[in-house]
Amino acid sequence: KAEVKAEVKAEVKAEKMEEEEEETDPSLFVRALCALTKGSGGGGGGGASGASSQASAQGETELGGQGRRKSAGRRAGGGAIDVDSSAAPSDVALDGGGGGGGEGEYASRLGALSINEDRVAKVTRDRAYSVAFLPTSDAVVVAVGDKSGNLGIWNYTSQRSWPSSDGVLELTPHRATVNALEFDPANKQRLFSTSYDGTVRCFDMGAERFDLAYETPHRSTHSHWLQHSCLTPDGRGLLLGDSLGYVTSVDLRSKKVVWQGDCCEKKVQTVSLSPTAPHLLATASLDRTVRIFDLRTSPSATAATTGGGGGKATGVNAPGSADYDPPAFKALATFNDSNSVNCAYWNPTGTCVVAVTQSNRLRVFHHPEKKEKAAETCVAHDNQTGRYLPVFHASWDPKNASALVVGSMNKSRMVEVFALTSPQGKQEAGSPTALQRVAKL
């Protein structure tokens, strides 16, 4: 009996030591990420970096103790990427340029891609709701937010340095769904996350901590939550869309609300700033609209305190306070749909906005700031994901202003790549473009 007890005790001790060795040290992991960002020129202290040093102890969360986890485990990978034979590359060309070459070349490059088990990892424990890639060509690092408030970071480039975890680190900065993720364009070592728990947090990799960037005064209520966010190009400001139809502008340096406007009749699904004209804001809403706003006419903090307009709150106070009634913010242009609109995003050149609608369409508005003169390209697309899956959002190819990626309900499950195309030789004549599927992944 004594020998058996000794053997069992030794086995338990060995297993415990093995588990400790398999744990991913979050500090070492994050330092490796910082090295990648410095290599891409993103380690500078631009944007709202001053806000980190001013963060109160209550608003800071140290990284230590949050990131230790065992391997998330791989999922059986494998698959193929096919060029859609219906694309007819010889008869059409990509419209709008953007460095992607012709459609035939673009489709061929997509068709040459492949996937295997080494390129598949389980990054979060629960259903993924948001994704962001580190904006650099030197490394592949992806951040994923899930339904339970977890943030998973997959360092694919250096995953062999972390074999026990597949190069994945999981943190828990929020208490509810992480619905938006974005790297600071002025400082790649800073990752902003927005959550249904009413907070926006900044993961400062250099400081190895989470800073509280913003907290809605309605955080404790179930009738109001943050739905989506986007950073300004300089990284100093943040725009938030919420469940009441409000859009809020926050100065990340002072962490104060600059202005707040009543923009939509119902929930704001997404907010997106034009990369070339950052005064143009696109919103998608549950009220079945895509709206374009000129932020140069936004309600200022001074004007906003003189009176309300939305009728969704009572009392008048400073913008961002719980009893503040934001004034109506009139849209520059409004495009209606028969059903709710999942998202509306500007393309990399700021010439188009893509909308994914519950009316089963992909709609692309060309120069939507031109109002009724704006042209539209539309294609039928099944967007009915059901109640147990996140809705589809489209994402533009950052290297090609004419191509976008969106999920698919086709069987087998796939991701589809669409491109804006026009007949050869007629692009300069301003001929109408078509939205055509060029690949399926």
Comparing 28-37, 344-353, 388-397, the range with the smallest average pLDDT is: 28-37
Please report which confidence band the pLDDT of residue 116 belongs to, taking 50, 70 and 90 as the band edges.
confident
Task: Please count the other Cβ atoms lying within 10 Å of the Cβ belonging to residue 1.
Answer: 5
Comparing 54-58, 79-83, 232-236, 346-350, the range with the smallest average pLDDT is: 54-58
> What is the pLDDT at residue 36?
83
Helix (H, G, I), strand (E, B) or coil at 178: strand
Comparing 40-49, 234-243, 367-376, the range with the smallest average pLDDT is: 40-49
> What is the pLDDT at residue 160?
80
Read out DSSP for 312-351?
SS-S--STTSTT--PPB---SEEEE-SS-EEEEEE-TTSS
> What is the β-pairing status of strands 168-171 and 333-336?
unpaired
> What is the pLDDT at residue 178?
97
Please report which confidence band the pLDDT of residue 425 belongs to, taking 50, 70 and 90 as the band edges.
very low
> What is the β-pairing status of strands 237-242 and 246-251?
antiparallel
| Inter-residue contact 387 to 376 (CB < 8 Å) | no
> What is the pLDDT at residue 309?
43
* Residue 41: closest CA among 234, 189, 192, 193: 189
Express each pLDDT in 386-406 by its tens digit: 988 899 999 999 989 999 999
Express each pLDDT in 91-109 by its tens digit: 334 555 444 456 678 888 8
Please report which confidence band the pLDDT of residue 43 belongs to, taking 50, 70 and 90 as the band edges.
very low
Checking if the pLDDT of 278 tops 60, the result is: yes
Comparing 180-184, 206-210, 218-222, 432-436, the range with the smallest average pLDDT is: 218-222
Query: Half-sphere exposure of 304 toward its Cβ, with a 13 Å CA cutoff?
Result: 26
> What is the pLDDT at residue 430?
45
The amino acid occupying position 403 is A
Between residues 276 and 422, the one the model is more confident about: 276
- pTM given for the model: 0.82
Beginning with the edge strand found earlier in the chain, give each strand of the sheet holding 289-294 in spatial order.
268-273, 280-285, 289-294, 333-336
| Inter-residue contact 326 to 310 (CB < 8 Å) | yes
> What is the pLDDT at residue 235?
94
- 88: CB partners within 8 A, 6+ apart: none
Helix (H, G, I), strand (E, B) or coil at 260: strand
48-52, 109-113, 220-224, 329-333: which is most confident: 329-333
Comparing 110-114, 339-343, 407-411, the range with the smallest average pLDDT is: 110-114
Query: Half-sphere exposure of 9 toward its Cβ, with a 13 Å CA cutoff?
Result: 6
- 438: CB partners within 8 A, 6+ apart: 83, 84, 87, 89, 103, 106, 107, 110, 403, 417, 418, 419
> What is the pLDDT at residue 6?
79
Please report which confidence band the pLDDT of residue 54 belongs to, taking 50, 70 and 90 as the band edges.
very low
Please report which confidence band the pLDDT of residue 286 belongs to, taking 50, 70 and 90 as the band edges.
very high
Identify the H or E element spanning 108.
Answer: helix 103-111
> What is the pLDDT at residue 105?
84
Task: Give the end-to-end CA distance of the chain in Å, rounded to a whole number.
Answer: 59
CA geometry: angle at 428 spanning 101 and 405, to 5°? 40
Task: Please count the other Cβ atoms lying within 10 Å of the Cβ belonging to residue 398.
Answer: 15
> What is the pLDDT at residue 63?
66
Instruction: Check the CA dihedral 283-289-290-293 and report its sign.
Output: negative
Checking if the pLDDT of 301 tops 50, the result is: no
Express each pLDDT in 214-264 by its tens digit: 998 876 567 789 999 999 999 999 999 999 999 999 999 999 999 999 999
Beginning with the edge strand found earlier in the chain, give each strand of the sheet holding 341-346 in spatial order.
341-346, 352-357, 361-366, 375-380
Q: Which DSSP category does 115 fall into?
A: B
Per-residue tokens: 308:
């309300």
> What is the pLDDT at residue 177?
96
- Arithmetic mean of pLDDT, 310-319: 53
